């Protein structure tokens, strides 16, 4: 029997990592999503803390741990811990993981760009959980990838743990608050946010595509692994 594609996830700390096994179970084992928790110094949505979270030594240790699963592709499942390094820095992170494991690798920030390009998006709204200073780095990252942000919201949540406590109603409220007619889609960064069970609900409420961090992380991993298939409940990107 051919094994399902294996998308290895490097996930910092503990917040919304249960999104991934829940999806894996819902899909009946058609994809495998083994996850390793990478180490963190401080759970803070600050530039300094996230430069440490995404440091080469922490990612190398995570890559070594995920290697036991022989992944077909590996994702650094952290938006802020990748975009805070800028365009070139995020690319270097992915390249180092890929070289260490000898398989394709990427990150959530890069996945947002790839997903937006696949859907032909040029103008988006962003509903960020982060403080405004940190969220601004995501806006700059999108601009470097050719994506214009026409509406922008930053909720000012200081830790990933607190983001992980947000329920579906709070996520919906955040997305509705930033939507404007010029936005072709709404982007919801932060892998600390539970989103994999509410994407279709968000898209129905907004009448346009929604890209969330955990969603694009899985999509990018599948793309790198050479897997292309529709998955239920995960929005326009997977249809």
pLDDT (tens digit, 9 = 90+) per residue, 120-171?
Answer: 999 999 999 999 999 999 999 999 999 999 999 999 999 999 999 999 999 9
What is the predicted pLDDT for the residue at 2?
Answer: 78
Query: Quick one: average pLDDT of 116-120?
Result: 97
What is the predicted pLDDT for the residue at 155?
Answer: 94
pLDDT bin (cut points 50, 70, 90) of residue 229 is confident
The residue count for the chain: 239
d(CA 196, CA 194): 6
Cβ-Cβ contacts under 8 Å for 218 (sequence gap 6 or more): 7, 20, 23, 31, 33, 75, 234
pLDDT bin (cut points 50, 70, 90) of residue 28 is confident
Query: Quick one: average pLDDT of 53-65?
Result: 98
What is the predicted pLDDT for the residue at 29?
Answer: 83
pLDDT (tens digit, 9 = 90+) per residue, 62-96?
Answer: 999 999 999 999 999 999 999 999 999 999 999 99
What is the predicted pLDDT for the residue at 231?
Answer: 86
Q: Residue 1 pLDDT > 80, yes or no?
A: no
In order of their start, the domains of the chain are 7-110+215-238 (3.40.50.12500), 112-212 (3.40.50.12500)
What is the predicted pLDDT for the residue at 232?
Answer: 85
- Which helix (DSSP H) or strand (DSSP E) does residue 60 occupy? helix 56-66
Lowest mean pLDDT among 23-32, 64-73, 98-107, 217-226: 23-32
Q: Is 149 left (phi over 0), alpha (psi -120 to 50) or beta?
A: beta
Answer whether 58's CB lies under 8 Å from 38's CB: yes
Instruction: Output b/e per residue, 126-163; b: 16+ Cβ within 10 A.
Output: bbbbbbeebbbbbbebbeebebebebbbbbebebbeeb
Q: Residue 42 pLDDT > 70, yes or no?
A: yes
Cβ-Cβ contacts under 8 Å for 208 (sequence gap 6 or more): 179, 183, 184, 185, 186
**DSSP assignment string, 122-157:** -EEEEEE-S-HHHHHHHHHHHHHTT-EEEEEEE---
Note the pTM of the prediction, 2 decimals: 0.96
Answer whether 155's CB lies under 8 Å from 161's CB: no
Q: Residue 197 pLDDT > 60, yes or no?
A: yes
Structure tokens at 155: 């909720």
- Tell me which residue has tokens 């990933």: 160
127 beta partners? 153
Lowest mean pLDDT among 5-9, 20-24, 72-76, 228-232: 228-232
Q: Where are the beta strands (DSSP E) in 59-209?
A: 73-76, 105-107, 123-128, 148-154, 186-188
């Amino acid at each position: 029997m051919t094994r399902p594609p294996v998308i290895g996830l490097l996930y910092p700390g503990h917040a919304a990592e249960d999104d991934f096994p829940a999806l894996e179970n819902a899909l009946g084992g058609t994809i495998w999503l083994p996850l390793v928790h990478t180490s963190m110094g401080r759970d803070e949505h600050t530039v300094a803390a996230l430069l440490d979270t995404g440091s080469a030594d922490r990612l190398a240790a995570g890559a070594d741990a995920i290697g036991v699963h022989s992944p077909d592709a590996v994702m650094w499942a952290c938006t802020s811990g990748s975009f805070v390094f800028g365009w070139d820095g995020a690319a270097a992170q992915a390249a180092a993981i890929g070289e260490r494991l000898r398989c394709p690798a990427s990150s959530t920030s890069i996945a947002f760009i790839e997903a937006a390009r696949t859907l032909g998006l040029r103008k988006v709204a962003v509903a960020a959980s982060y403080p405004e200073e940190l969220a601004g780095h995501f806006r700059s990252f999108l601009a470097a990838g050719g994506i214009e942000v026409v509406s922008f919201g930053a909720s000012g949540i200081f830790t990933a743990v607190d983001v992980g406590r947000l329920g579906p109603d709070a996520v919906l409220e955040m997305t509705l608050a930033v939507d404007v007619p010029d936005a072709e889609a709404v982007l919801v960064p932060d892998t600390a946010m539970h989103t994999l069970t509410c994407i279709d609900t968000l898209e129905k409420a907004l009448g346009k595509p929604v890209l969330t961090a955990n969603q694009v992380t899985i999509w990018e991993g599948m793309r790198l692994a050479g897997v292309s298939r529709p998955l239920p409940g995960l929005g326009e990107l997977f249809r």
